């Protein structure tokens, strides 16, 4: 409940609207951050729930995700799942389904991204796994002015201390944007 308020700040930005085929949008510090992040990204990794909101086997006619016929990524997306499936091409985005762990997904995404970044796009459980394994170089946290009563907490199950080095803090009218480097 209220998740649209959690992400609402990004939906109004020009840099988010353009890849979604929408006109207009706000400009300013938050828009510049999102535009910069998108320009640096060469591939994405997401969890099964972010792809489809569902768990378990795919079924005889697998759900094709909730991203529509023209997903905004237009880059390779690697979906972590326990259930094998053939790659899915939707518009300019290819979703590849990785069943052999986070390291394999990262290696595949890095190979596809070349000299660009791999963005971990959620959900919280998947990000926790990468943090616990020491495989995250930067962490971007966008804090919206709303408190949800439930859901998976991003830092709930970290098995070790993760030190963060502040890199950038930007305030915008609808969120605070915190960027950290993770020293190795």
Query: What percentage of the chain carries pLDDT values higher than 70?
Result: 99
Mean pLDDT over the full length of the chain: 90
- The reported pLDDT for the residue numbered 176 is 95
Residue pointed to by tokens 């439930």: 150
Give the pLDDT of residue 49.
87
Asked if pLDDT for residue 21 goes beyond 90, the answer is no
DSSP codes of every residue in 6-28: HHHHHHTBHHHHGGGT----B-S
C-alpha span between 143 and 177 (Å, rounded): 6
Question: 161-167: long-range contacts at Cβ-Cβ below 8 A with a sequence spacing of 24 or more?
Answer: 162/131, 164/139, 167/138
Whether residue 155 is predicted with pLDDT greater than 90 in this model: the reply is no
Q: Stretch 154-175: mean pLDDT, rounded?
A: 88
184 pLDDT higher than 80: yes
Question: Taken in order 128, 129, 132, 133, is the CA torsion positive or negative?
Answer: negative
pTM: 0.92
How far is the C-alpha of 1 from the C-alpha of 129, rounded, in Å? 25
* pLDDT of amino acid 82: 92
For residue 26, pLDDT beyond 90? yes
Q: Give the model's pLDDT for residue 93.
A: 95
For residues 183 and 5, give the distance between their C-alpha atoms in angstroms, rounded to a whole number.
32
Instruction: Check pLDDT > 80 for residue 125.
Output: yes
Contact 12, 25 (CB under 8 A): yes
Q: What is the pLDDT of residues 85-121, one digit of tens each?
A: 999 999 999 999 999 999 999 999 999 999 999 999 9
Query: What mean pLDDT comes out for the span 152-180?
Result: 88
């Amino acid at each position: 409940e209220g998740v649209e308020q959690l992400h609402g700040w990004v939906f109004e930005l020009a840099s988010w609207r353009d890849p979604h085929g929408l006109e207009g949008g706000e400009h300013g510090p938050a828009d510049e951050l999102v535009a910069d992040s998108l320009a640096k990204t060469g591939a994405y990794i997401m969890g099964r729930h972010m792809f489809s909101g569902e768990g378990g086997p795919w079924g005889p006619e697998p759900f094709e995700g909730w991203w529509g016929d023209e997903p905004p990524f237009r880059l390779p997306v690697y979906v972590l799942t326990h259930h094998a499936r053939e790659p899915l091409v939707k518009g300019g985005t290819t979703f590849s389904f990785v069943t052999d762990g986070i390291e394999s997904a990262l290696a595949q995404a890095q190979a596809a991204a070349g000299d660009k970044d791999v963005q971990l796009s959620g959900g919280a459980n998947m990000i926790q796994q990468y943090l616990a394994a020491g495989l995250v170089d930067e962490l971007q946290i966008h804090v919206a002015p709303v408190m949800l009563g439930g859901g998976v907490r991003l830092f709930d199950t970290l098995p070790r201390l993760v030190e963060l080095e502040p890199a950038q803090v930007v305030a915008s009218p609808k969120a605070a944007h915190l960027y950290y480097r993770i020293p190795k």
